[in-house]
Amino acid sequence: MINLEDPKKFRPLRDQVHQVAMNMLRPISRKYDKAEHAYPKELDMLAAMADGLAESGQSEGAGAAGVRRGAAADDGQVKNGSNMASVMTVAEMCWGDVGLLLSMPRQGLGNSAIASVADDDQLERFAGVWASMAITEPGTGSDSANIKTTATRDGDHYVLNGEKIFVTSGERSDAVVVWATLDRELGRAAIKSFVVPKGTPGMKVERLEHKLGIKASDTATITFTDCRVPAENLLGSPEIDVKQGFAGAMATFDNTRPLVASMAVGCARASLDYTRELLADAGVEVDYDRPAYAQSAAAAKFLQLEADWEAAYLLMLQAAWMADNRKPNSLEASMAKAKAGRVGSDITLSCVELCSSVGYAEGELLEKWARDSKILDIFEGTQQIQQLIVARRVLGLSSAELK
């Protein structure tokens, strides 16, 4: 059974990452918020450090590239593996800066997709590749099953045609994991993901988007025009299994949604920590031994925000723990993402309100955290889509039965 505390074996790693977030990310956070689309060169050294930890085995598979469901334990023992390490360390990095975390080399969402569904040969071939993930299209947002980008088999290659938007790290990454359909008439079951290396003829980064938050991270529009991709770059099985439906492609989300939840948890924690300091400086005492109604309005609000944060944090741990222990976690992954995404935005905005002019001005990072947190309620499936998935799982209904 899950223990509702941070696993002891990952606490040293978490503490190390916290120091990195405080001493390396926080100092450059505002710099790259203002210099949108400028690549944070300081991250190259950080990525090299992460590679060193991975090679030494000290990172325990933390980070997006480490997310993978291992073999089930034969001894029946509870496991805390790469998924748990990843959500804990990603939360700490986002305590530093969400946009910079999303800009980390070789830690793209495409790396999670590769780790989730690639076979052993593909894992070896794509080791060390920085992969972004391209799902969203101009006419397809939350309904990923409605993808229009096509992949047509031609000998030893697939030919991709279509357009993808809002691709995180779309310009900087080494490759893009592209979701495309093999046959539009077969619906969800025909959607597969392909690793497309940068520089492949027919693939073009059209533009970079200007955004509300996470400005340190580049967000691209990419087109594919008769783009030929080797057949062995299709992740997972090339067979179309109508019975399995969309499950193969959606398995990626079971691993990435807890990661997005951890981003929201980390950003919200940063806001709460700093707001508590500012409240204390203003003479507002938050007393955890007294009921909220017996305290000031500001203290009562802060207690409510911390309770919301705790719920999101525990759901995040549960989803990651289930993935590590080979338990189906689609419901829990969506619950964690929905809860963390919603309360993350609520917390950061409420902290801005509690801190008044200090929270709203650019002199501190509170207003930035409020801007950064909103995307975490949107990408990887919006709040509304997560609630729909949760309802389907709880009620035992299919997507056709509950839309």
Which domains are assigned to the chain?
8-122 (1.10.540), 129-233 (2.40.110.10), 247-395 (1.20.140.10)
Band of the pLDDT at 296, cuts 50, 70, 90? very high
Please name the residues in contact with 339: beta carbons below 8 A apart, sequence gap of 6 or more: 261, 311, 312, 315
> If we measure between CA atoms, which residue out of 100, 90, 388 comes closest to residue 264?
90
pLDDT by residue (tens digit) across 314-339? 999 999 999 889 899 999 999 999 99
Residue 379 main-chain phi, psi, to 5 deg: -75, 165
Band of the pLDDT at 252, cuts 50, 70, 90? confident
Band of the pLDDT at 71, cuts 50, 70, 90? very low
Predicted confidence (pLDDT) at residue 92 exceeds the cutoff of 90: yes
Q: What is the pLDDT of residue 187?
A: 79
Band of the pLDDT at 73, cuts 50, 70, 90? very low
pLDDT by residue (tens digit) across 354-396? 999 999 999 999 999 999 999 999 998 899 999 999 999 999 9
Q: What is the pLDDT of residue 75?
A: 57
Q: What is the pLDDT of residue 60?
A: 59
> If we measure between CA atoms, which residue out of 88, 87, 126 comes closest to residue 106?
126
Band of the pLDDT at 6, cuts 50, 70, 90? confident
The percent of residues above 90 in pLDDT, for the chain, comes to 73
The stretch 52-80 carries a mean pLDDT of 60
Band of the pLDDT at 74, cuts 50, 70, 90? very low
Q: What is the pLDDT of residue 278?
A: 97
Band of the pLDDT at 39, cuts 50, 70, 90? very high
Q: What is the pLDDT of residue 300?
A: 97
The stretch 104-121 carries a mean pLDDT of 88
Angstrom CA distances, 40 to 31, 100, 102, stand at 9, 8, 11
**288 residue type, one letter:** Y
The stretch 192-215 carries a mean pLDDT of 97
Length of the chain as a residue count = 403
* CA Rg value for the chain: 21
The stretch 29-47 carries a mean pLDDT of 94
Q: What is the pLDDT of residue 64?
A: 59
The percent of residues above 70 in pLDDT, for the chain, comes to 91
Asked which of 1-5, 103-107, 223-227 is least confident by mean pLDDT, the reply is 1-5
Instruction: Let me know if 141 is exposed, middle or buried by CB neighbors in 10 A (0-12, 13-18, 19+).
Output: middle
Predicted confidence (pLDDT) at residue 34 exceeds the cutoff of 90: yes
Band of the pLDDT at 239, cuts 50, 70, 90? confident
pLDDT by residue (tens digit) across 142-180? 777 789 999 999 999 999 999 999 999 999 999 999 999
Q: In the predicted model, what is the mean pLDDT of the chain?
A: 90
Q: Which two tokens stand for residue 188?
A: 């969800």
Band of the pLDDT at 69, cuts 50, 70, 90? low
